[in-house]
Amino acid sequence: MNNYVTGAVIRRLREARKLTQEALAAELHVSGKAVSKWETGQGFPDISLLEPLAKALHISVLELLSGEDIVNRNRAADMRKGKFYVCPVCGNAVHSIGEAVVSCCGITLPPCEAEEADGEHTIRAEITEDEYYVTVDHPMTREHHISFLAAVSDQTVQFVKLYPEGSAEARFKIDRVRKLYAYCNRHGLFQARPVLPGGRFF
Ligand SMILES: [Fe+2]
């Protein structure tokens, strides 16, 4: 883990759950003074208390450690507002429809901020019948490569994992695709809007 629970987080969550320091302490079989010390930064809860503490505060241990309690407000959200998370250690990639706490290889991953694709990360999309043939003219060495391409519509995510020494290309069903993404292991996430069949832009 790259962070540990802070006193401010414990206090905020405890107050949000309308628990007194004593009530929280009783649930954890510690003293009220111990909780007070955590909340004022004079001590940390022992690691064996993280699970019961998270349970008492009605969140997951991951959320507790990240300092955010994620409330799923995304039930009606569409895929285009989704986020990509990429692990810098193992290269794992995750797409989430809404906000999420995503952890991989012991690291809590921030959502990738996509830049507009240009230069060596320009995403080209050719229309072939009912598909986009997507290419990026980019190195594909072990050290520097495009590790995935994705096409996102309001309802679907099409995702193609790429590998070094392969080619930076993928085919996606055109169906309602509104955004194309390319992830470079050195430079991060890039996005482009595809041209609609018939040459119209969105
Ligand atoms: Fe790059």
**Partners of 135 in beta bridges:** 124, 169
Distance (Å) from CA 144 to ligand 1 centroid:
6
Q: What is the pLDDT of residues 79-121, one digit of tens each?
A: 677 899 998 888 899 999 877 888 888 888 888 999 999 899 9
Tell me the backbone φ, ψ of residue 16, rounded to 5 degrees. Answer: -65, -30
Distance (Å) from CA 138 to ligand 1 centroid:
7
Distance (Å) from CA 162 to ligand 1 centroid:
14
Q: Which pLDDT score is estimated for 76?
A: 54
Ranges of beta strands (E only) in the chain are 83-86, 93-96, 102-104, 107-109, 115-116, 123-128, 131-136, 146-152, 157-161, 169-173, 179-184, 188-192
Distance (Å) from CA 187 to ligand 1 centroid:
5
Distance (Å) from CA 168 to ligand 1 centroid:
11
DSSP state of 112: P
DSSP state of 145: -
- Output the average pLDDT for the chain: 87
Q: What is the pLDDT of residues 10-39, one digit of tens each?
A: 999 999 999 999 999 999 999 999 999 989
Distance (Å) from CA 44 to ligand 1 centroid:
41
Q: What is the pLDDT of residues 161-199, one digit of tens each?
A: 999 999 999 999 998 899 999 999 989 999 999 877 665
Distance (Å) from CA 119 to ligand 1 centroid:
9
